[in-house]
Structure 1
Amino acid sequence: MQYARLPKDTELLDSLPPMSPNPIPLSPDTRQRLADAGKALNQRNPDLAERLLRRVLAEAPTLVDAQVLYGIACLMRGDSGKAAEFLRMAVQRRPHDATIQMSLGSALHDSGAEKEALIHLRRACELAPGQVSAWYNLGKALKQQQRLDDASSALLRALSLDEHHVLARISLADIRTMQGEIAQAVAEYRKVLRQQPHQAEAWHALANLKTELLSPQDMQQISEAMRDPAIHPDTRIALGFSLFRALEDQHDYAGAFEALRDANANQRRLVTWDPDVERARVEAIMDAFHPSLPAPLDPTQGQEVILIVSLPRSGSTLVEHILASHTQVEGANEIPDLPQVIEDESRRRGQAFPHWVTSATAQDWSRLGKDYLARTARWREKHPRFTDKGLLNWQLVGAALAMLPGAKIINCHRDPVETCFACYRQLFRRGMHFSYDLDEMADHYRDYQRLSNYWQARYPDQILDFPYEALLQEPELQIRHLLAFCQLPFEPACLAPHLTKREVLSTASAAQVRQPIRNDTAHSAPYLDLLQSLRNRLAR
């Protein structure tokens, strides 16, 4: 998955390490290249910096300053593995440099070495307790690792050093949103916007709450920010989605749809999506699972697992929140473990999923299931059952049931027009590249629907078909049905999930699930004429 092209929030450029007296004699040209590389990084031009630094390192491969700058250039380009390689060398030679420790920690975190990353990020804070960026980067890493209380403490430390640190305040507000402290989150976002009225991420985060109405004054400020001719494309996109929300809150539906269409078109130009490739993948999955799979070694393996499968914006967060209100269930949010197990197995076999499915033995599937259960063990430390609502799970149902034959699967789905329009209204932080064009969104929905129907026919006793609209219309009946399917005794708390205190990491839904279940969540009615082509394509 790729991240949406919002502004980078890792702080490196404001705190590049000062150049040290060089024990290595350098030619004047090399010294100039080193200085020019630092300028290039400050101007966010890592490609130029990298070209210059290659020539510097060719002359002086052990020069720490060049290693650091090269690592930062790689980190800015997204090559975190290579960045970590060079920054490790720099840390070995200069272990007491807080900025190098911080840069290495950021590179390790981006490359997936999360535990090791925290060691270096914390070391940076120890070495430079007054360095704001060190505390901010530590807080950001902890937040991404879902350690929200620790992240909050680090971000508050950053703000105590610089109360005007915008990114720290936005991150803190995001945490308040995830923890259900919506009023505090709104106050933090508003504080940022008083400091910087054109701050795109704060506007987008505020609009993304969906429970906080934006005023005519908000609409004017967003519009003014968008008139800046030098605005970055990513910033324009975030502001465009925010403007859509503000216009809709003023019931200007024609203007809102125009703003939304522009924002989506701009975002679509920045992402890669091939509908034909995705459709072929769905076909390949159905072909691979058509033959009978080997009988499981242990039919109960995975009975701790409740997989929630759906497209985005289909009620999966609410369903998880209902289940997590039960004393036997932990809500793990969107975790990556299932697709990661499949990806690791594909890499081991040298063959992409699903092409190796027909050659997998019962022992293989059992091994993969045990790997998944080991990876997810922390979600069973407090409760015996847990939910996994990863947004790729709908493609992996067959693999999941081969690995975890005792698991329960809930297929959450919503009216097709509402689903597609809800996704189109959302700027996703990562992936979901099908959602920025209504025709592509409709085709993707039909692929999802086709594969879901296939799974339902193939595994009728292990998959619960769970329509969102039925849940809203008859919540108690449907919740009792949901709990019975999961073999959970009824608990009244599940009927009032908005009262449950837990972290909801999907900021797009975190505020909404704190409200009582209501049946007026449809949004397409004012736009039906404008959505006619979508409706036609879905019906075709």
Structure 2
Amino acid sequence: MSQDFSIQFQSIKRALQSKNLSQAAQLIASLKTSELAVVQQVELFYLSAVTQRMAGQFNTAIGELEQLLNLRPEHGRAYQELAYNYQALNQPDKAASAFFKATHYNPALMTSWKQLLNIYRQHQDTNAEQLALQHIAYLEQLPAPILGAYDLMYEKQLASAEQVCRQFLQQHKHHPEGMLLLAELGIQLKVYHDAEFLLESCVELYPDNLRAVIAYLGLLAKLGKHQRVVTISDQQLQTYPDNLQILMAKANALLGINRTADAIAIFTALIEEDQDRPGVWLALGHAYKTTGESAKAVEAYLQAAHYHKQFGDAYWSLANMKSYRFDEDALANMAAIEADPSVGVDDRIHLCFALGKGYEDAKQFEAAFKYYEKGNKLKLISVGYDITRTEDAIAAQIDACTPAVFANVKGGFPSPEPIFIVGMPRAGSTLLEQILASHSDIDGTMELHNILSLASSVGAQSTSGGKPYPYCLADLSADQCYQLGKQFIQQTRYYRGSAPFFIDKMPNNFMHVGFIKRILPNAKIIDARRDPLDCCFSNFKQLFGEGQDFSYGLDEVGLYYQAYEKLMAHWDEVLPGAVLRVQHEDVLDDLEGQVKRMLDYLGIPFEQACLDFYQTERLIKTPSAEQVRQPINRKGQGRWQPFEASLDPLLARFNRQ
């Protein structure tokens, strides 16, 4: 069907180009009777809207675009089309709003920017006019292929955008805009190693290119290379001492390496300079949350919402405090904001999750699920998650990591220092980390990206000449494994104190247990496991900062949990005894017994502080920060039960109906 659709799709475009509207309409009507994938439906609705507008059927065109935007709420060109129709219907306010959304979701739409410029001039909005002029000037200086590739990227046609960009770079090898765009595509495609190399090269070639510097800092932060961000920020601040983006990059990186007081000092100075900085208030709230200063965190989040009424992340951050409760007036206000058509998709997603939590706390479970479901649906569309990619990656690990790979294997860095806590998010891993980090011999750190980055680098190296990751693990030499393990220990030094052992709590490392044991043979690995319904529904209710894209659908999270179980069973088979499984419910039933079991596995003597974990003062940067500062309790158990009537996909998957 895909090839047939492509042929018919091109026929519709040719009919439109020749203004044969009746033929285009007939072809569209014929295709609408077919079974189409979502991406094909989006393309068809768009062409149908264009056809209807050209035929003067403006309200019909708007209806087609509304159906499109239900499938793809971030479709910039659809908003541009919507604006044309509102202009034709003499509805200037709606047209202006649509043009604004068009440029928000697709900043490469020159026509929409020029329309906005006229609107800003009519309203004598000087500041907005200057911003529009600056953006138009930037777009006009871009080479045509790069502008076209940006347009493709913003419309989620990543493969086509990459092809155009690479063709351009073949003719203009070190063009900065081409390098920047290819790096951005690499980030969106999660090819982080390639993107990092491109941005590092771009900054070296064009040290005065501020866009390249800021993009590089952003990627380094995403990869958890916080010390590198601090170093580069300090260098750049000598040239740009007042640049807000660089100052924020540095402050957030300082948080990443546990220099929280220094980060708070930067945020505070920025707010004293200008209080109307909602993004800085939000970051300050996050900083206070990690230190356990809940009242200060709440006040900062409230200030963020005060200065930006539609700032979804401010409301979600309040909801994510867990102990914070919205009153009826606050919930009504948030619901009204969420219902406002002018609210952007990202803010709407955050508001939906916040409302879900707020109504759940108020025991209005039907309203809560309505918002959880809406927020998850919007987020799933936004991230474009496909469970088959995860299942394929797990199948590759099982296929590549056979017992032979680990039989009599030598090499690797022999350090006994790392303790990895892996598993599903929301499975109790933060509690285990808090318990173990209360021991005088163990440092808690954070969810470190280093294993993911090293595995990516191995994959990047092998694809150019050898087997791809993880199939290359069997071919790594003893020295390669030693150097990779040593690199991990050196890279993670920034996040540690002086204790002989430290924890890396990145849950997704369950995918890389084989890689960990090849490069760090003496590392200890704990699998944090939780009842599947409690775990999956907790994931469904949680809006993560990044990653964990599987969590935004009941089917997706259930399938992911089963895939995770399958891979952990494989590690048990090929690496018997290497992983200690700790069931969350067992910790709740017998804290002391499970603490002693974990410490015995680690070869570390028992300390009472591990039982008094809630008294330990340390920085915690996960959604469970507040819970683990309380004594052991069962508040998280059975939280799915009031929503049971809406959870058929999960109940069926785990035979709990």
Same fold (TM over 0.5): yes
Output one character per residue of 1:304-349: Cα deviation in whole Å (capped at 9) or x when no partner.
Answer: 1111111110011111111111111111211011122221112222
Tell me what 1:443 maps to. 559
Matched, 1:520 2:635: yes
Matched, 1:375 2:488: no
**CA gap 1:529/1:196 in 2 versus in 1, 3 angstroms:** same
Q: Would you say how many aligned residue pairs link Structure 1 and Structure 2? A: 491
Matched, 1:415 2:523: no
Matched, 1:430 2:546: yes
Alpha-carbon distance in structure 2 between the residues aligned to 1:362 and 1:462: 20
Alpha-carbon distance in structure 1 between the residues aligned to 2:146 and 2:554: 49
Alpha-carbon distance in structure 1 between the residues aligned to 2:654 and 2:136: 44
Matched, 1:335 2:448: yes
Per-residue deviation, 1:528: 1.5
Output one character per residue of 1:194-249: Cα deviation in whole Å (capped at 9) or x when no partner.
Answer: 44443211101111111212221221121011121111111111111011011111
On the 8 A contact 1:68/1:87 being kept in 2, the answer is no
Q: What pairs with 1:138-177 in structure 2 (closer than 5 Å)?
A: 138-144=250-256, 146-177=258-289
- The range that moved more, 366-375 or 519-528, is 366-375
Counterpart amino acid of 1:339?
A: L
Q: What pairs with 1:477-492 in structure 2 (closer than 5 Å)?
A: 477-492=593-608
Tell me what 1:200 maps to. 312
Partner residue of 2:294 out of 156, 163, 182: 182
Counterpart amino acid of 1:190?
A: L
Partner residue of 2:433 out of 293, 296, 320: 320
**CA gap 1:211/1:136 in 2 versus in 1, 3 angstroms:** same
On the 8 A contact 1:197/1:221 being kept in 2, the answer is no
- The range that moved more, 496-505 or 369-378, is 369-378
Counterpart amino acid of 1:191?
A: Q
Per-residue deviation, 1:157: 0.9
Matched, 1:289 2:401: yes
On the 8 A contact 1:333/1:505 being kept in 2, the answer is yes
Tell me what 2:624 maps to. 509
On the 8 A contact 1:317/1:509 being kept in 2, the answer is yes
Alpha-carbon distance in structure 2 between the residues aligned to 1:359 and 1:519: 47
Tell me what 1:13 maps to. none
**CA gap 1:488/1:196 in 2 versus in 1, 3 angstroms:** same
Q: What pairs with 1:381-420 in structure 2 (closer than 5 Å)?
A: 381-420=497-536
On the 8 A contact 2:447/2:504 being kept in 1, the answer is yes
Per-residue deviation, 1:463: 1.4
**Unmatched segments (≥5 aa) in structure 2:** 1-72, 75-113, 119-126, 148-174, 188-194
Tell me what 2:457 maps to. 344
Per-residue deviation, 1:298: 6.0
**CA gap 1:91/1:39 in 2 versus in 1, 3 angstroms:** farther
On the 8 A contact 1:315/1:468 being kept in 2, the answer is yes
Counterpart amino acid of 2:346?
A: D
Counterpart amino acid of 2:216?
A: L
On the 8 A contact 1:244/1:257 being kept in 2, the answer is yes
Tell me what 2:576 maps to. 460
On the 8 A contact 1:325/1:493 being kept in 2, the answer is yes
On the 8 A contact 1:294/1:362 being kept in 2, the answer is no
**CA gap 1:267/1:383 in 2 versus in 1, 3 angstroms:** same
Output one character per residue of 1:372-400: Cα deviation in whole Å (capped at 9) or x when no partner.
Answer: 22322345551110111212211111221
**Unmatched segments (≥5 aa) in structure 1:** 7-31, 59-66, 93-99
Alpha-carbon distance in structure 1 between the residues aligned to 2:135 and 2:196: 13
Alpha-carbon distance in structure 1 between the residues aligned to 2:444 and 2:181: 38
Partner residue of 2:590 out of 474, 489, 502: 474
Which of the pair has the greater relative contact order for Cα pairs under 8 Å at 6+ separation? 1
On the 8 A contact 1:247/1:253 being kept in 2, the answer is yes
Per-residue deviation, 1:131: 6.3
Per-residue deviation, 1:88: 6.5
Partner residue of 2:422 out of 309, 319, 335: 309
Output one character per residue of 1:90-117: Cα deviation in whole Å (capped at 9) or x when no partner.
Answer: 755xxxxxxx76x554233124386665
Tell me what 2:84 maps to. none
Tell me what 1:53 maps to. 142
Per-residue deviation, 1:178: 1.0
Q: Secondary structure at the match of 1:270?
A: helix
Per-residue deviation, 1:264: 0.5
Per-residue deviation, 1:191: 2.7
Matched, 1:269 2:381: yes
Alpha-carbon distance in structure 2 between the residues aligned to 1:130 and 1:375: 30
Alpha-carbon distance in structure 2 between the residues aligned to 1:283 and 1:229: 43
Alpha-carbon distance in structure 2 between the residues aligned to 1:372 and 1:295: 23
Alpha-carbon distance in structure 2 between the residues aligned to 1:446 and 1:57: 42
Per-residue deviation, 1:534: 1.1
Tell me what 1:278 maps to. 390
- The range that moved more, 331-340 or 348-357, is 348-357
Q: Secondary structure at the match of 1:383?
A: coil
- The range that moved more, 212-221 or 79-88, is 79-88
On the 8 A contact 1:243/1:259 being kept in 2, the answer is yes
**CA gap 1:375/1:384 in 2 versus in 1, 3 angstroms:** same
On the 8 A contact 2:596/2:606 being kept in 1, the answer is yes
**CA gap 1:131/1:45 in 2 versus in 1, 3 angstroms:** closer
Higher alpha-carbon Rg: 2
Per-residue deviation, 1:502: 1.1
Counterpart amino acid of 1:509?
A: S
- The range that moved more, 113-122 or 411-420, is 113-122
- The range that moved more, 131-140 or 488-497, is 131-140
Per-residue deviation, 1:43: 5.2
Alpha-carbon distance in structure 2 between the residues aligned to 1:44 and 1:520: 54
Alpha-carbon distance in structure 2 between the residues aligned to 1:197 and 1:515: 33
Output one character per residue of 1:385-422: Cα deviation in whole Å (capped at 9) or x when no partner.
Answer: 01112122111112212222211111101000111101
**CA gap 1:248/1:114 in 2 versus in 1, 3 angstroms:** closer
Partner residue of 2:215 out of 107, 110, 128: 107
**CA gap 1:76/1:159 in 2 versus in 1, 3 angstroms:** farther
Alpha-carbon distance in structure 2 between the residues aligned to 1:524 and 1:266: 21
Partner residue of 1:216 out of 311, 317, 328: 328
Alpha-carbon distance in structure 2 between the residues aligned to 1:488 and 1:197: 51
Greater percentage in helix: 2
Matched, 1:252 2:252: no
**CA gap 1:448/1:84 in 2 versus in 1, 3 angstroms:** closer
Q: Secondary structure at the match of 1:376?
A: helix
Per-residue deviation, 1:168: 0.8
Counterpart amino acid of 1:452?
A: M
Per-residue deviation, 1:41: 9.9
Alpha-carbon distance in structure 2 between the residues aligned to 1:356 and 1:72: 30
Output one character per residue of 1:163-198: Cα deviation in whole Å (capped at 9) or x when no partner.
Answer: 222111110110011111112111211233344443
Alpha-carbon distance in structure 1 between the residues aligned to 2:523 and 2:196: 36
Per-residue deviation, 1:440: 1.4
Per-residue deviation, 1:297: 3.1
- The range that moved more, 40-49 or 154-163, is 40-49
Tell me what 2:77 maps to. none
- The range that moved more, 258-267 or 118-127, is 118-127
Counterpart amino acid of 2:417?
A: E
Q: Secondary structure at the match of 1:396?
A: helix
**CA gap 1:375/1:140 in 2 versus in 1, 3 angstroms:** closer
**CA gap 1:158/1:405 in 2 versus in 1, 3 angstroms:** same
Alpha-carbon distance in structure 1 between the residues aligned to 2:178 and 2:474: 45
On the 8 A contact 2:353/2:541 being kept in 1, the answer is yes
